[in-house]
Amino acid sequence: MYQTTIKKSVELVGIGLHKGSPVKLKLEPLEANSGIVFYRCDVDVSIPLLPENVVDTRMATVIGKGEYVISTIEHLLSAVYAYGIDNLKITVDADEVPVMDGSSASYCMLLDEAEVIELAAPKKIMRIKKEIEVKEGEKYVKLSPSKDLNYDFTIKFPHPVIQEQAYVLHFTKESYKREISRARTFGFLHEVQYLRSKGLALGGSLENAIVLDEKKILNPEGLRFPDEFVRHKILDAIGDMSLIGMNFIGNYEAFAGSHDLNHKLTLALLADAENYEVIEVVGEAMPELEKAYA
Ligand SMILES: [Zn+2]
């Protein structure tokens, strides 16, 4: 198995969630062993995707260098990671990534257009060797060894439309596209109103999120899946796991997980070299993995 990048540069323009103004996004190929690198062309600052460059995880995943940040990177990264892309330059002309429809479906389409190609260097995969758990109260996120890759997520919200939802994704690029990529982010009306009062989420609308009041969904089109909420949490988790810098094999499990817990999980994983091993996949040593990212 080989490292990958994209065949050709692609771009799109979309509204940024926080400022509500258009952001131009461009994806370009990078050579082997470059990793995922963000670039803000408006201020000429590069920010490699590394856990230590994460500066905020309260509402979205934000990376930064000095005073310069890029916010809401998780949905784009979810698609990039699910496509098994190892090397990519991501350029934006503002401090956030376009929110599109609140899912990663637009990014999947963009990557399909860009075409994933192999480079002449073996792909690195992280194999989880031990159970690693981050727990806060009853909430937890956990990694454990497995011969393949699964995401098992449960959420519980005291809201009549959500309640308890659980979903298990047996990961392949195709199952991701079919079951996860179209699931939108969600928020509650009172939160949206609060954010607006702080001058945030100015681009937020029913076009890019599921919005709920106390009793119901406000979006006239309804849900894309009855369990769209928990599917989106898996979309987020996949994006957050991209911070470890390579694809991994193992089981990911969460109860009421969040960007913050996922970030702590990646730090806990990387903190002890006994937790994992990095394998360079030569030839067809891992046919299952080959199939997953085909
Ligand atoms: Zn999200």
Residue 47 has pLDDT above 80, yes or no: yes
Residue 253 has pLDDT above 90, yes or no: yes
Distance 119 CA to ligand 1 centre (A): 30
Which position has the token pair 């089109």?
A: 221
As given in the structure block, the two tokens for residue 208 are 């890019």
Distance 58 CA to ligand 1 centre (A): 12
> pLDDT-derived band of residue 37, with 50, 70 and 90 as boundaries?
very high
Classified as helix, coil or strand, 76 is helix
Q: What is the mean pLDDT of residues 159-170?
A: 95
| Average pLDDT over all residues of the chain | 94
> pLDDT-derived band of residue 73, with 50, 70 and 90 as boundaries?
very high
* List of residues 6+ apart from 232 with CB closer than 8 A: 103, 183, 184, 185, 186
> pLDDT-derived band of residue 195, with 50, 70 and 90 as boundaries?
confident
Residue 283 has pLDDT above 80, yes or no: no
As given in the structure block, the two tokens for residue 182 are 């179209």
Residue 57 confidence (pLDDT):
85
Distance 239 CA to ligand 1 centre (A): 9
Distance 35 CA to ligand 1 centre (A): 22
Residue 230 has pLDDT above 90, yes or no: yes
CA–CA separation, 100 vs 258, rounded Å?
Answer: 21
The β-bridge relationship of strands 45-48 and 36-40 is antiparallel
Distance 286 CA to ligand 1 centre (A): 30
- Residue 33's region, left for phi above 0, alpha for psi from -120 to 50, else beta, is left
Residues with CB under 5 A from ligand 1 (ion): 185, 236
> pLDDT-derived band of residue 192, with 50, 70 and 90 as boundaries?
confident
Residue 285 has pLDDT above 80, yes or no: no
Whether 15 contacts 203, CB under 8 Å: yes
Q: What is the mean pLDDT of residues 220-243?
A: 96
> Is the model more confident about 186 or about 202?
186
Distance 280 CA to ligand 1 centre (A): 31
Closest by Cα among 266, 278, 234, 275 to 50? 266
Classified as helix, coil or strand, 243 is helix
Asked which of 67-71, 176-180, 289-293 is least confident by mean pLDDT, the reply is: 289-293
Distance 237 CA to ligand 1 centre (A): 8
What is the pTM assigned to this prediction? Answer: 0.95
Residues assigned a catalytic role: 259
Q: What is the pLDDT of residues 76-130, one digit of tens each?
A: 999 999 999 999 999 999 999 999 999 999 999 999 999 999 999 999 999 999 9
Whether 146 contacts 202, CB under 8 Å: no
Residue 292 has pLDDT above 90, yes or no: no
> pLDDT-derived band of residue 242, with 50, 70 and 90 as boundaries?
very high
Q: What is the pLDDT of residues 131-150, one digit of tens each?
A: 999 999 999 999 999 999 99
Closest by Cα among 250, 249, 253, 248 to 237? 253
Asked which of 108-112, 204-208, 289-293 is least confident by mean pLDDT, the reply is: 289-293
End-to-end CA distance of the chain: 10
